[in-house]
Homo-oligomer: A and B are copies of this chain.
Amino acid sequence: MAVDNKENIKVFALGGVGEIGKNMYVVEVNEDIIIIDAGLMFPKEEMLGIDKVIPDITYLLENEKRIRGIFLTHGHEDHIGGLPYVLRELSVPVYGTKLTLGLVGHKLTEAGLIEKVKLVEINSNSIIKAGDTKVTFFRTNHSIPDSVGVSVHTSKGAIVHTGDFKFDFTPADGKHADMQKMAQLGENGVLCLLSDSTNAEKAGYTGSETSVGHKISDVFYESKGRVIIASFASNIHRIQQILDAAIANQRKVAVVGRSMENVVRIASELGYLSFPKEQIIDITEVPNYDDDKVAILSTGSQGEPMAALSRMARHAHRQVQIKHGDTVIIAATPIPGNETSISKIIDLLFRAGANVIYGQDVVHVSGHGSQEELKLMLNLMKPKYLVPVHGEYRMQKAHADLAVSVGTPRHHIFLVEKGDVIEIKDGHARKGSKVPSGDVLIDGLGVGDIGNIVLRDRRLLSQDGALVVVVTLSKGKRKVLAGPEVITRGFVYVRESEELLVEANKVVSKVLDGWMSNQGHEWSSLKAGIRDGLGQYLFEKTRRRPMILPIIMEV
């Protein structure tokens, strides 16, 4: 690698800052573009009908030739979920650990892309040449195994991305975070650190995953009936501990829920889960065992209505129904926005007669480090510059405040939005220009075709529905041949609103008459007149504003 003291270094985020989700970070060293992660985000409440959101990669498409690879920190959706879409447009190699690539491979196979993509397996000791730039890795602890941080080496120090991390000194899989490597990086010089801000507002330390294992074992021991445990499918540490607890307490384990079944399969094939084959039984075999000899591992820990746990609670699951005597462990805390659905499912479970372990007694720890751990990372890395990432603005800000308390000068900390470029030259950083960035909404098969106009219309329709007014006019003579006909959905209950709709029809007729007596008018003014007149009438009568769609047919 040429030692060039005048490297042009750029660091920016295309997703994952000012938001939680769709992480995508870019480090440029001269002509080498290194992408870190390519995640998706689940739609926000106001994104009606939208399935997923991915980062706008316009900049990457414009600079495709310089991209050396996508380096994945770990296998969570908000870090790999965007790959099927990104890899349709970019032909670049993808680097990741074994488990991460196992999950990616499954995704790309489903998307029909597996043949076209070059997947390169790395581990925490790998050294990758990305163009002229050296990239290395270091192991971290997170709520999924095989997670790494990424270091991009330059002559003035490393640009380090922590990935998602916590410090778990008693990790469930025995794989400790590589603090020695982190300390070494700090010793050699970290020019810029991009660090996980998710729990920057939380004081103290995040608990160890093994503490959860102990709690689960206690519940398996004490419960007199079946134990159903709902967890994030991706938390393989958690699944391993559940299996261990089951073995220790002579409970067979049945797995329900597609994503859970997938993860258990992939993880055991790749060696990330280990258990005696006979420990796992099919869900249909559950009735063959005494209740206190059974545990059910299920999806639906966020109260998702279509996932297994909710269906079992509502007696809508073909094989399992929640019954009196069951103990249900919700081994998760609400992802922001999901509080209501989790609340609902807890209610449903109680109504179904279960004893539910949740809330204050929750059997769960976060996968993200709290304040003390973020400060520990800063002390190990001793970065010259800090860019708090993976968080809403307030989390980035809280992280910045932590760094100041640790000794990082305030002007060496950058609170960036998507697209803000940090330019580092000769070891000095400053905020540079912006690159294109934004949200790309995915609805069904459409990628990016839904924008503000369509969303605005969906919002209006969701509030007061729609009213369609159709009139058939004769060409030229402007005689009304048919209609006006008024059809409505989502506005009023038609059977009980006949009078209102009859009156509405009269209002339209009046507008029509007025328009026809005024020769030379365009249809556009007729439509506007109908919208205004009818809109005003309906608002007076109902205080509602349905979307009004006037349609003129000409015969």
Contacts and interface: CB of A to CB of B under 8 A. Distances in A.
Main secondary structure of the interface of A (DSSP, over half): mixed
Nearest to A455: B490
Interface in A313-356: 334, 336-337, 339-340, 343, 346-347, 350-351, 356
A445 B464 CA distance: 12
Interface residues of A, number: 67
Contact of A490 (B340, B457, B472, B492): B457
Interface string A433-451: 0000000000111100111
B489 A547 contact: yes
A554 B490 contact: no
B549 A443 contact: no
Counting every copy of the chain, the complex holds: 2
B542 A481 contact: no
Contact of A489 (B201, B466, B491): B466
A11 B339 CA distance: 32
A111 to B, nearest CB: 14
A202 interface: yes
Interface in A191-234: 201-203
A409 interface: no
Contacts of A481: 472, 555
Interface string A103-120: 000000000000000000
A500 to B, nearest CB: 10
Nearest to A18: B347
A544 B446 contact: yes
Interface string A474-518: 000000011101010111110011000000000000000000000
Given A449-B497, A490-B458, A543-B445, A343 B553 contact: no
A360 B492 contact: no
Contacts of A462: 48-49, 458-459, 461-462
A397 interface: yes
14 contacts: A49-B464, A202-B360, A337-B339, A444-B542, A445-B541, A445-B542, A449-B492, A450-B493, A457-B489, A468-B468, A468-B551, A483-B553, A485-B551, A489-B547
| 9 closest Cβ pairs, A-B complex | A444-B543, A462-B462, A461-B461, A457-B490, A49-B463, A444-B544, A458-B490, A481-B555, A482-B553
